């Protein structure tokens, strides 16, 4: 049988005309014009669809996002500017074998990180054993001494995690960072799937894509499992900083999907270590809070006194065991970028296993020898501030100016604990649709991990795309967009197409 990929009429060639391959792993092509088996259906469809039709679908998708109000807020410009989340039309496809490895790897990693958190806030065995240096933990600005010696419900610190994976030129997935505080983005994963089903129904039928709609139900079950004293019908709420928060759309979306109340700090009142919410029928007790407010802001009596986003007295209610929080407070110490370098050791120590998913090689600027090496090779490294997220406070060496490098050199020397460096990675690229042609752009992958009675990972995640040509930064606040992520059923994709 002739491979359809080689059967290109001149008209067809146009959409891939501007496509090129380079050193990075290409998600779609194994060689020029030779798509990988699981991408054949998509490749064929792209060749068959006239450009006008592609544009029409792209427009239909954009309008759908705008009308549904699927937006995020951009900081640093006009207060509360609403934007549509930039979305690329073409799905990113993951085979069931690849996914099986990712799933096992994440389960292992999250189990270990949770044990680590429980340990450092209680016995501190791994610190005593020298697995992780004490100063890394105690100097982390996300370490909460208020959490010490506190047995939290079921010992689950990280009920919801989003871990960022990237793919190296050899095809391996490695962990770039963990988001253990209030990871966001899952609503884009869920809504973009809805839109894609409307835009590409024929492709779904061909490809054999696994569903992700059970995420909300799994999240609700996870939250329910945390209810204090195993209360049978707990009142679960989602605490949002409010409508001006960049992820407000997601908060409202998840609350609606789960059928729970979306509350703000001003809706809550704490009385004798019980948390209540103000309803039209009077005060009603709250049992579990899925909080999307950072530690610092959650209780002005325990943390930042100037915060108006939380509820005064909430922390004492939490320590009294009258209310559960997901995630627990103080989890940020385990996603600190300096701690990251020790995660493989943490996995070995707590589980006695080798890590299934590797880390990216990481240099700690707090270590004099490593710092020296980084400063001498700044133009080769990506330098990150350890406590930052969202692509802020970052230097991408090969794309930086001399002035930017000097600025970072000064910053690193002033506060070495605050910086780490990683080699500039050739992260994988996937095809994206830009008005009339398909071009490759760099992508990462953030699956969401739920930890309650058991660990649940819905097959998929948020694929973030660096939409600017050549850019390696995928964060939405830095010009990144997203793609739908398709995890295929076993035997999906290639076989279906070969048969058809």
Partner 1 sequence: MLSRVADNLYWMSRYLERAEHTARVMGVQWNLMLEYEPGSAERRWKRVTASVGRREPLEGDAFAAAQSFALAQIVGGIAEARENARQVREQISSEMWEELNMLFHESKRMGTPELFNVQGFDLVYAVIRSSNLFQGITDSTMSHGEGWQFIQTGRFMERVHASAKLIDLHFAEYFDAAEPVSGSDHMEWLGLLRSCTAFEAYCKVYTADLRPERAAEFLLLNADFPHSLRFGAERLLRSLEAIHQSAGARKTDRVSKLAGRLTAALSYTPLEEIMGNLHEFTTGIRRLCGQIHGGIYQVYISYPLDAALEG
Query: Which residues here bind partner 1, judged by CB under 8 A?
Result: 66-69, 242-243, 248-249, 252-253, 255-256, 261-264, 266-267, 269, 271, 277-283
CB-based contact 344:359 (threshold 8 Å): yes
Q: Which residue lies nearer to partner 1 by CB, 267 or 495?
A: 267
* Cβ nearer to partner 1, comparing 129 with 243: 243
Of 29 and 248, the one with the shorter C-beta distance to partner 1 is 248
Question: CA torsion sign, 279 to 283 to 286 to 289?
Answer: positive
Q: Which two tokens stand for residue 468?
A: 């600017």
Distance from C-alpha of 429 to C-alpha of 466, rounded to nearest angstrom: 9
The nearer residue to partner 1, 82 or 123, going by C-beta atoms, is 82
Nearer Cβ to partner 1, position 182 or 238?
238
Minimum CB–partner distance for residue 253 and partner 1 (Å): 7
Q: Which residues contact 125 (CB under 8 A, 6 or more apart)?
A: 119
**What is the pairing mode between strands 455-457 and 448-451?**
antiparallel
DSSP 367-403: SHHHHHHHHHTGGGEEEEETT--TT-SEEEGGG--HH
Alpha-carbon distance 492 to 129, whole Å?
47
Residue nearer to partner 1 on the CB measure, 106 or 293: 293
Give the CA distances from residue 402 to residues 371, 372, 395, 405, in Å, rounded to whole numbers and listed in that order: 18, 18, 11, 5
Tokens of residue 230, six digits: 């195993």
Q: Which residue's CB is nearer to partner 1, number 46 or number 219?
A: 219
Nearest approach, Cβ of residue 180 and partner 1 (Å):
25
The four Cα atoms 198, 199, 200, 204 give a dihedral, to 10 degrees, of -30
- Residue 372 pairs with which residues in a beta bridge? none
**Least Cβ distance, residue 302 to partner 1 (angstroms):** 20
- The pair of structure tokens assigned to 16 is 């891939």
Distance of alpha carbon 237 from alpha carbon 291, whole angstroms: 8
| Distance in Å, CB of 276 to partner 1, minimum | 8
């Amino acid at each position: 049988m002739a491979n359809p990929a080689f059967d290109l009429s001149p008209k067809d060639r146009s959409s891939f005309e501007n496509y090129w391959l380079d050193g990075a792993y290409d998600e779609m092509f194994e060689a020029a014009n030779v798509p990988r088996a699981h991408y054949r259906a998509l490749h064929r469809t792209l060749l068959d669809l006239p450009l006008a039709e592609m544009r029409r679908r792209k427009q239909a998708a954009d309008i759908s996002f705008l009308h549904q109000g699927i937006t995020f807020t951009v900081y640093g410009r006009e207060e509360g500017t609403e934007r549509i989340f930039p979305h690329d039309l073409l799905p990113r496809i993951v085979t069931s074998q690849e996914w099986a490895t990712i799933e096992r790897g994440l389960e292992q990693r999250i189990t270990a990180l949770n044990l680590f958190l429980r340990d450092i806030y209680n016995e501190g065995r791994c610190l005593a054993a020298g697995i992780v240096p004490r100063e890394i933990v105690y100097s982390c600005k996300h370490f909460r001494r208020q959490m010490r010696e506190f047995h939290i419900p079921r010992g689950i610190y990280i009920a919801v995690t989003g871990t960022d994976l990237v793919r190296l030129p050899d095809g391996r997935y490695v962990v770039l960072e963990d988001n253990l505080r209030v990871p966001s983005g899952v609503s884009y994963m869920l809504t973009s799937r809805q839109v894609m089903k409307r835009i590409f129904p024929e492709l779904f039928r061909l490809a054999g894509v696994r569903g992700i709609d059970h995420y909300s139900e799994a999240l609700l079950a996870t939250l329910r499992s945390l209810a204090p004293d195993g209360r049978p019908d707990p009142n679960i709420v989602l605490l949002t900083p409010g409508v001006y928060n960049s992820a407000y759309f997601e908060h409202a979306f998840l609350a609606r999907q789960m059928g729970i109340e979306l509350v703000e700090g001003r809706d809550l009142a704490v009385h004798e270590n019980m948390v209540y919410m103000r309803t039209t029928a009077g005060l009603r007790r709250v049992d579990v809070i899925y909080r999307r407010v950072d530690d610092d802001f959650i209780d002005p009596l325990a943390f930042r006194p100037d915060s108006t986003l939380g509820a005064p007295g909430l922390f004492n209610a939490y320590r009294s065991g009258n209310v559960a929080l997901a995630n627990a407070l103080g989890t940020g110490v385990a996603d600190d970028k300096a701690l990251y370098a020790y995660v493989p050791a943490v996995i070995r120590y707590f589980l006695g296993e080798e890590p299934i998913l590797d880390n990216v090689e990481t240099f700690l600027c707090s270590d004099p020898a490593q710092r020296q090496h980084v400063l001498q090779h700044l133009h080769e490294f990506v330098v990150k501030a350890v406590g930052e997220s969202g692509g802020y406070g970052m230097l991408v060496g090969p794309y930086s100016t001399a002035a930017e490098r000097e600025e970072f050199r000064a910053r690193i020397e002033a506060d070495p604990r605050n910086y780490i460096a990683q080699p500039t990675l050739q992260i994988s690229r996937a095809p994206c649709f830009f008005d009339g042609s398909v071009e490759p752009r760099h992508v990462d992958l953030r699956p969401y991990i739920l930890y309650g009675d058991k660990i649940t990972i819905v097959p998929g995640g948020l694929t973030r795309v660096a939409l600017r040509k050549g850019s390696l930064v995928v964060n939405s606040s830095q010009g990144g967009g997203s793609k739908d992520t398709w995890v295929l059923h076993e035997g999906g994709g290639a076989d279906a197409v070969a048969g058809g």
